[in-house]
């Protein structure tokens, strides 16, 4: 009797496949248990809005202005230069002294000029003697001519000699007066009352007609020289307001344009405008560089807080809250800003009056992000 041997085919599973099946089974059971145990789980929700504070952009009246670097000059400032050449022998004043009209400032050595005047005066005395002799001759010839002793020709010659002598005397007297006037220039005096400026020369220096000895400034009104680019020159008008501001923006003085040059500076392509400025409390100095603010006009524009404005490169931005259906979202707006008024920027373009500007939480925002207004 033959016994039938049954052969069983055994299937073998590799270790890695065993672990994969085990892991899948475990995860499936875990998910099933979790789902059955937490039947009250809520569906996923979208992102909540960023809490922000809003401020309505309000219309503001502002001045359209431009600041220029200007120069102060004095109409009552005199640069003292000698009218003669020579060596300085004495200086009578010091820088900062207050002087009146005609006060002696300096003395230039007059010795050479004094000698010239003395020589001219001696020559004048000699010519005066010649005139006296010519007069005597003319009187004698006149008497002889009346008696018929001399001819009329001799009388005419005597008269001509007298006229020539008198003419020479008058010419010499004019030269003497001129030399005496020239002698007065060797003493330099103040042409007006004022304050003596810097004195760059010293006793012993030789000066010429082009040497600046000092200045005499009369305190009071100054002129501000404003150089406006030719592109804006057409907007300049007489009596246009001008403000003088300090380096920190503080107002020093106010004025109005009193002169507009009809010509353009060929080198700088600017037009010169002037305005008179009262030197209140001597805050300003001649030849000082200052900031002159020209006020072109007054306009209306919205303003936003400085804290609401961000800057990337040279471009300014702000977020504005806008309602979309039932959600309020933030939209980023590119701005063109003007001057600052207090703690606000004047917005020339990008925002309208009435827009809801986001003033807090902007660091967490992107364009289109939902927001939740607070307060």
In order of start, what are the domains of the chain with their CATH numbers?
51-61+299-373 (2.40.420.20), 67-75+218-298 (2.40.30.170), 84-106+189-217 (2.40.50.100), 110-185 (1.10.287)
Q: Residue 344: what pLDDT?
A: 87
- What's the pTM value of the predicted model, to 2 decimals? 0.55
Helices (H), the chain: 15-37, 111-147, 152-184
Q: Are 188 and 82 in contact (CB under 8 A)?
A: yes
Q: Residue 227: what pLDDT?
A: 95
Q: Give the residue among 375, 329, 333 at the shortest CA–CA distance from 49.
A: 329
Q: What would the DSSP string read from start to end of 69-98?
A: EEEEEETTEEEE--SS-EEEEEE---TT-E
Compute, in degrees rounded to 10, the torsion defined by CA atoms 279, 281, 286, 292: -60
**CB neighbourhood size of 175 (10 A):** 15
Q: Residue 375: what pLDDT?
A: 65
What would the two tokens of residue 71 be? 């120069």
Q: Residue 10: what pLDDT?
A: 38
Give the integer Cα–Cα distance in Å for 100 and 95.
Answer: 14
Q: What would the DSSP string read from start to end of 274-321?
A: EEEEE-GGG---TT-EEEEEEEEEEEEEEEEEGGG-EEETTEEEEEEE
Q: Collapsing DSSP states into helix, strand and coil, what is residue 205?
A: coil
Q: Residue 13: what pLDDT?
A: 42
Query: Which residues touch 65 (CB under 8 Å, ≥6 apart)?
Result: 243, 293, 294, 295, 296, 339
Q: Give the residue among 358, 342, 359 at the shortest CA–CA distance from 62.
A: 342
Q: Are 183 and 93 in contact (CB under 8 A)?
A: no
Q: Residue 59: what pLDDT?
A: 86
Q: Residue 63: what pLDDT?
A: 80
How does pLDDT run along the chain (375 residues), one tens digit per residue?
434 333 333 334 444 343 333 334 443 444 433 444 444 444 444 457 888 999 998 888 878 888 999 999 887 888 999 999 999 999 999 999 999 999 999 999 999 999 999 999 999 999 999 999 999 999 999 999 888 888 889 999 999 999 999 999 999 999 999 999 999 999 999 998 988 999 999 999 999 999 999 999 887 778 999 999 999 999 999 999 999 988 777 888 899 999 999 999 999 999 999 999 887 667 788 888 999 999 998 888 888 888 899 888 889 999 999 988 888 999 999 999 887 777 888 898 899 998 999 998 888 888 888 998 886
């Amino acid at each position: 009797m033959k016994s039938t041997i049954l052969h069983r085919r055994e299937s073998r599973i590799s270790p890695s496949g065993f672990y994969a099946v085990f892991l899948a089974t475990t995860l499936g059971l875990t998910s099933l248990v979790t789902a059955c145990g937490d039947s009250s789980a809520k569906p996923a929700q979208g992102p909540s809005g960023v809490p922000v504070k809003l401020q309505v952009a309000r219309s503001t009246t502002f001045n359209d202005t431009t600041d220029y670097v200007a120069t102060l000059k004095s109409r009552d400032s005199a640069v003292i230069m000698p009218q003669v050449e020579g060596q300085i022998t004495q200086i009578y004043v010091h820088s900062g002294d207050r002087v009146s009209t005609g006060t002696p400032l300096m003395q230039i050595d007059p010795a050479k000029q004094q000698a010239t005047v003395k020589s001219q005066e001696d020559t004048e005395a000699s010519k005066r003697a010649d005139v006296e002799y010519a007069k005597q001759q003319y009187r004698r010839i006149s008497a002889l001519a009346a008696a018929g002793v001399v001819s009329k020709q001799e009388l005419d010659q005597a008269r001509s000699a007298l006229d020539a002598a008198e003419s020479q005397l008058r010419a010499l007297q004019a030269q003497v007066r001129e030399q005496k006037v020239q002698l007065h220039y060797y003493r330099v005096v103040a042409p007006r009352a004022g304050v003596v400026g810097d004195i760059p020369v010293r006793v012993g220096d030789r000066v010429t007609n082009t040497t600046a000895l000092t200045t005499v400034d009369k305190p009071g009104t100054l002129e501000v020289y404003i150089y406006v680019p030719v592109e804006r020159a057409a907007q300049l008008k007489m009596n246009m307001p001008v403000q003088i501001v300090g380096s920190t923006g503080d107002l020093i003085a106010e004025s109005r344009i009193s002169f507009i040059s009809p010509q353009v500076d060929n080198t700088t392509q600017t037009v010169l405008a002037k305005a008179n400025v009262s030197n209140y409390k001597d805050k300003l100095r001649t030849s000082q560089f200052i900031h002159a603010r020209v006020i072109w006009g007054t306009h209306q524009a919205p303003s936003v807080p400085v804290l609401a404005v961000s800057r990337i490169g040279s471009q300014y931005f702000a977020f504005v809250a806008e309602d979309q259906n039932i959600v309020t979202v933030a939209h980023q707006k590119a701005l063109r800003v003007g001057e600052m008024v207090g703690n606000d920027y004047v917005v020339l373009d990008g925002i309208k009056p009435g827009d809801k500007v986001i003033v807090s939480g902007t660091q967490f925002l992107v364009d289109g992000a939902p927001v939740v207004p607070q307060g």
